Structure 1
Amino acid sequence: MSVVLVRVDDRLLHGQIVEAWAPYCKATRIIVANDEAKKSRLQRLAIESCGSTALAIRVEDIEESIKDIAPDNTNKERVIVVFSTLKDLMQAYNKGLRFSSINIGNIHHNGKGKLLTPSVYIDEEDEVILHTLSQLGVELDIRAVPTDKPVGIKIEMRNEK
């Protein structure tokens, strides 16, 4: 499998991904990597029913998604991977999933943290994750759809020397 987009969006799957990102990336599969959605039969069926013959959609737990996307998988599919949180994305990264860039579409305000854009709030843990990914050379951008101008993210940790 070839990962063509890694996205963080707490709404999981919706029209921006299916109608804008999938055609733009020429994706043939979307994997929603979310432990809670995998456990919920109703949520899983609702998400997977958005698929078509041209675009397969699958809900997997994070462990399963890492195995599916392993570099030794010779499947020729073009895959978008969607995580609901930066914490889930970092969990996958720490367990071996590699990517050169991430797109952040939406992270709702959770009562703490700071606003990066009108649709993206991050807390301290998210800030550390973004900083870590940036230090690892992962390109970070915020945009709802591919035609939006990317908003770059530069995270400087307050306690750095």
Structure 2
Amino acid sequence: MSIIGVRIDGRLIHGQVANLWTTKLNISRIMVVDDEVAKNAIEKSGLKLATPSGVKLSILPIEKAATNILAGKYDSQRLLIVARKPDRLLKLVELGVSLEEINVGNMSQTPETRSITKSINVVDADIEAFNELNRKGVRLVAQMVPSDKAENFMELLKK
């Protein structure tokens, strides 16, 4: 399987993903998986600008991403999947994509969220998706940057 990393990050592609994670994992393609972003020309333009040179970019609706991954379209590449919220990745798993580990990065604070760490804020629907991913055998870790120690995200969620 060509999936080298999977990250939840509300900012999608930015300094940490574009520089630190892409370099650390030697990524050749970043795949943004999100139905809304895939339809938003302005957001797609910004993501293209944020993608490091030499790294390919796919911005796909969830079902198309699953179809392409399962068809082996990226088998020769080192793929980093990035999604804004856990429900997108849960749907990928439900469509048959095998994800071993998800790195929970940044989930921004809003009036509706509650704080899990200083950079991870969730609503009840996020917690339900994380619990379901965990039940399906996906390991969930919290790690902002590669130099940070990876923490068990499900333990953080219990606090």
Q: Which of the five TM-score ranges fits, normalised by the shorter chain?
A: 0.7 to 0.9
Q: Distance between the aligned counterparts of 2:75 and 2:3, measured in 1?
A: 11
Q: How many residues align structurally?
A: 158
**Larger CA Rg, structure 1 vs 2:** 1
Q: Secondary structure at the match of 1:75?
A: coil
* Structure with a larger share of its residues in helix: 2
Instruction: Show the counterpart of 1:67.
Output: 67
Query: TM-score, normalised to structure 2's length?
Result: 0.88
Residue 152 to residue 125, structure 1, CA distance change in 2 (3 Å): same
Shift of 1:75: 3.5
Identity %: 25
Q: Which residue in the other structure is 1:117 paired with? A: 117
Deviates more, 1:60-69 or 1:2-11: 60-69
- Relative to structure 1, the CA distance from residue 118 to residue 52 in structure 2 (aligned partners, 3 Å threshold; closer, same or farther) is closer
Q: In 2 relative to 1, CA 157–47 (structure 1 residues): closer, same or farther, beyond 3 Å? A: closer
Q: Distance in 2 between matches of 1:13 and 1:38?
A: 14
CA offsets 1:49-87 (integer angstroms, 9 cap, x no match): 334552112211112211221164363000000011111
- The runs of 5 or more residues in structure 1 that have no matched partner are none
1:12 maps to what in 2?
A: 12
Flag as ranges the 4+ runs of structure 1 deviating above 2 A.
49-54, 71-75, 109-114, 154-158
Which AA in structure 2 matches 1:69?
A: I
RMSD: 2.2
